[in-house]
């Protein structure tokens, strides 16, 4: 090899940064380097399989595709050879010298945000090829691309500042990586160490892995096997391998179908929610295969976006191998798969929830936001998803939950509406005036307490043919109760309402006597299309200039002593009555979470107290 062909390159700044992190802070996880190399080799050979089926100019089809590992204890090296597509000179520069791929970028960003503490991060991302520098102080990559007339190349680096590329002697297609192990990592040149790592991380790689010429992995498409032949341990290992996960799977769906489309699917719901652990939105985790050949590890459109948390494999013999990533989303077949699989997954959650409610509860706490996102965004599945919701209600004990199906089962004869209230928590909801009238009539009220619930219920609209209605809204009709007897007369009521309307002016659009109150004197209701306190809060948080004249309907309780007294004194003691009327409105607004400015309230309270003491 002549000097002429040696090119020196400097690593991109981000790569140097990454390498520095890899070498100095990640050494506790250094085991993973082999998984990363094997998975790159396997990806590359998947591409060969794909080319065999699609590229006319692919020369050496039918080769045995294996990954082989040789260790040299004397030289302290590991050599990993694959029969993948290899890399051209440009690809070596692009792939092993710059940071173009999103996974590594995301890793760096998370690294910065977490203040450089890598615990747990490595499991989320892996640092790919660069992890070799945790165990090696010199790495050689020999490569010949599958493309016609490709060069034989040798890439070398110490993982510090840069790398060199030069021509090499005649090579077979693929990549051969030689790791010169550093002093702390010499034990990796022992066969048992390498075999241990393969068993742990790479058992399900879809190609034979040979260590010193002997096959060590299982090479099985677990999803095509019969359920009865698979142990729990195998399932778990497959989940961790396929999902690049470290937790235990919580639920599993393994099924095959022939109509309307051929499907073999093995899908897991994870035990932990990475988005809740501070990582951004995760990418879809279900890979798409056609007869054991990987078509796309992150296929767009295979599942609705809200299902991005599930992991596993879908294999469909009906798919054309050469379907491109671009056409994937528009493919009628992929749409069909999406429909069938998402329905099966939802059904699986429904069954699991029934079989073990306590387990589902724990799962739900971590993953409910995905279901809610689905209700708001996935029209085809929203009704099925609504069955998965869990919440407290006026008929559950504090801390217990039920479902919409439970609610409907408990509805009273003649009840047509599902009542709910959105609030911060059970205590806050129950201390307000809204629920009392419903409780008195034995009508159940759902307590929604998640910030997004308002939006979710709006999207849902109805369940099982029954409208969902917020009891905060005007226009919710309640049947009579006997308590009418000792209230004000119709004439007294209409006189009082007119009086209040005169006093309160246009802050109140309507005043009437209502049936929903038991213990409270008045209640403020927002119109059915009006903004709820939660939405107002959000608007205020987003826009500091947000102004919204609160207009409410007032419902008075003609049985309440305070209301009766006001009707009695409004002519005899007009000054006090005026203060009481205004204060009643403020109190109702406070209960409804709608009072923005309490200055007037306090001044009025002071005058009232003065008057009370004479």
Under the rule (CB under 6 A), what is the footprint of ligand ADP?
36, 40-41, 44, 82, 84-87, 95-96, 101, 103, 128-130, 175
- In the complex with ligand ADP, which residue's Cβ is closer, 125 or 434? 125
- In the complex with ligand ADP, which residue's Cβ is closer, 40 or 189? 40
- In the complex with ligand ADP, which residue's Cβ is closer, 159 or 437? 159
Q: Phi then psi for 211, rounded to 5 degrees?
A: -110, 120
Shortest distance in whole angstroms from residue 177 CB to ligand ADP: 7
- In the complex with ligand ADP, which residue's Cβ is closer, 41 or 310? 41
* Rounded Cα distance, 260 and 22, in Å: 48
Shortest distance in whole angstroms from residue 41 CB to ligand ADP: 5
Cis upstream peptide for 260 (omega within 30°): yes
Burial 169-205 (b: 16+ CB within 10 A, else e): eebebbbbbbbbbbeebeebbeeebbbebbeebbbbb
CA torsion, ordered 146, 150, 156, 161, to nearest 10 deg: -100
Sheet of 508-513: strand order equals: 508-513, 552-556, 522-525
Q: Which two tokens stand for residue 607?
A: 């005058």
Shortest distance in whole angstroms from residue 134 CB to ligand ADP: 13
Shortest distance in whole angstroms from residue 133 CB to ligand ADP: 11
Shortest distance in whole angstroms from residue 431 CB to ligand ADP: 53
CA distances from 183 to 29, 73, 364, 402, 478 (A): 17, 12, 47, 59, 80
DSSP secondary structure code for residue 560 in this structure: S
**Which class for 299: exposed (0-12), middle (13-18), buried (19 or more C-beta within 10 A)?**
buried
Shortest distance in whole angstroms from residue 427 CB to ligand ADP: 49
Shortest distance in whole angstroms from residue 153 CB to ligand ADP: 12
- In the complex with ligand ADP, which residue's Cβ is closer, 211 or 468? 211
- In the complex with ligand ADP, which residue's Cβ is closer, 96 or 310? 96
Shortest distance in whole angstroms from residue 84 CB to ligand ADP: 4
Alpha helices in 168-230 (DSSP H): 191-201
The angle formed by the CA atoms of residues 192, 197 and 199, to the nearest 5 degrees, is: 90
* Rounded Cα distance, 151 and 147, in Å: 9
Shortest distance in whole angstroms from residue 88 CB to ligand ADP: 10
* Rounded Cα distance, 191 and 211, in Å: 8
- In the complex with ligand ADP, which residue's Cβ is closer, 144 or 560? 144
- For 344, how many CA atoms within 13 A lie in the half-sphere containing its CB? 23
- In the complex with ligand ADP, which residue's Cβ is closer, 14 or 484? 14
- In the complex with ligand ADP, which residue's Cβ is closer, 130 or 438? 130
Query: Helix, strand, or coil here: 213?
Result: coil
The helix or strand, by DSSP H or E, that contains position 610, with its residue range, turns out to be helix 599-612
Nearest to 370 by CA among 518, 233, 506, 270: 270
Burial 7-40 (b: 16+ CB within 10 A, else e): eebebeeebeebbebbbebbeebbbbbbbbbbbb
- For 100, how many CA atoms within 13 A lie in the half-sphere containing its CB? 8
Residue nearest to ligand ADP (CB): 128
Shortest distance in whole angstroms from residue 4 CB to ligand ADP: 26
- In the complex with ligand ADP, which residue's Cβ is closer, 38 or 468? 38
Shortest distance in whole angstroms from residue 95 CB to ligand ADP: 3
Nearest to 313 by CA among 241, 251, 233: 241
- In the complex with ligand ADP, which residue's Cβ is closer, 155 or 447? 155
């Amino acid at each position: 090899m002549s000097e002429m062909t040696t090119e020196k390159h400097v690593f991109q700044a981000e790569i140097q940064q990454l390498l520095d992190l890899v070498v100095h802070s990640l050494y506790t996880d250094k085991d993973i380097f082999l998984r990363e190399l094997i998975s790159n080799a396997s990806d590359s050979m998947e591409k060969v399989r794909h080319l065999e089926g699609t590229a006319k100019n692919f020369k050496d089809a039918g080769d045995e595709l294996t990954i082989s590992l040789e260790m040299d204890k004397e030289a302290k090296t590991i050599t990993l050879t694959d029969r993948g597509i290899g890399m051209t000179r440009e690809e070596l520069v692009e792939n092993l010298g710059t940071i173009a791929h999103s996974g590594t970028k995301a890793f760096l960003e998370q690294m910065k945000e977490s203040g450089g503490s890598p615990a747990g991060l490595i499991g989320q991302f892996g640092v790919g090829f660069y992890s070799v520098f945790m165990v090696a102080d010199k790495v050689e990559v020999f490569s010949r691309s599958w493309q016609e007339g490709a060069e034989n190349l040798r890439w070398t680096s110490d993982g510090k500042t840069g790398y060199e590329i030069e021509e090499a002697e005649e090579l077979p297609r693929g990549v051969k990586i030689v790791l010169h192990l550093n002093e702390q990592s010499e034990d990796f040149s022992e066969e048992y160490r390498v075999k241990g790592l393969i068993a742990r991380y790479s058992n399900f790689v879809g190609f034979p892995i040979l260590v010193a010429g002997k096959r060590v992995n299982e090479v099985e498409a677990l999803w095509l096997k019969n359920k009865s032949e698979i142990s729990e341990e195998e399932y778990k290992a497959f989940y961790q391998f396929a999902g690049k996960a470290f937790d235990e799977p919580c639920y599993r769906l393994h099924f095959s179908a022939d109509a309307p489309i051929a499907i073999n699917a093995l899908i897991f719901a994870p035990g932990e929610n990475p988005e809740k652990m501070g990582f951004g939105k995760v990418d879809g985790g279900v890979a798409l295969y056609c007869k054991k050949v990987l078509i796309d590890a992150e296929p767009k459109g295979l599942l609705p976006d809200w299902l991005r948390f599930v992991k596993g494999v879908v294999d469909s013999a009906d798919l054309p191998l050469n379907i491109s990533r671009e056409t994937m989303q528009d493919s009628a077949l992929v749409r069909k798969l999406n429909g069938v699989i998402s329905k099966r997954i939802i059904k699986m959650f429904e069954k699991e929830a029934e079989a073990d409610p306590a387990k589902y509860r724990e799962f739900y706490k971590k993953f409910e936001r995905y279901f809610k996102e689905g209700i708001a965004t996935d029209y085809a599945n929203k009704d099925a998803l609504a069955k998965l919701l869990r919440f407290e209600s006026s008929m559950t004990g504090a801390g217990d939950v039920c479902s919409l199906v439970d609610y409907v089962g408990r509805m009273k004869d003649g009840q047509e509406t599902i009542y709910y209230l959105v609030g911060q928590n059970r205590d806050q909801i129950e201390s307000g005036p809204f629920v009392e009238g419903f409780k008195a009539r034995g009508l159940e009220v759902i307590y929604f307490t998640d910030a997004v619930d308002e939006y979710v219920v709006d999207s849902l609209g109805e369940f099982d043919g029954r409208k969902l209605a917020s009891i905060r809204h005007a226009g919710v009709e309640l049947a009579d109760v006997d308590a009418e007897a000792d209230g004000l007369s119709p004439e007294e009521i209409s006189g009082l309402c007119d009086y209040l309307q005169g006093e309160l002016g246009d802050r109140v659009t309507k005043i009437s006597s209502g049936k929903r109150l038991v213990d409270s004197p008045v209640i403020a209701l927002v119109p059915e299309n009006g903004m709820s306190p939660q939405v107002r809060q959000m608007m205020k948080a987003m826009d500091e200039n947000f102004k919204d004249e609160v207009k409410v309907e007032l419902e008075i309780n003609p049985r309440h002593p305070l209301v009766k007294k006001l009707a009695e004194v409004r002519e005899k003691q007009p000054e006090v009555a005026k203060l009481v009327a205004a204060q009643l409105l403020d109190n109702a607004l406070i209960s409804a979470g709608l009072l923005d400015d309490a200055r007037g309230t306090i001044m009025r309270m002071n005058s009232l107290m003065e008057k009370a003491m004479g």
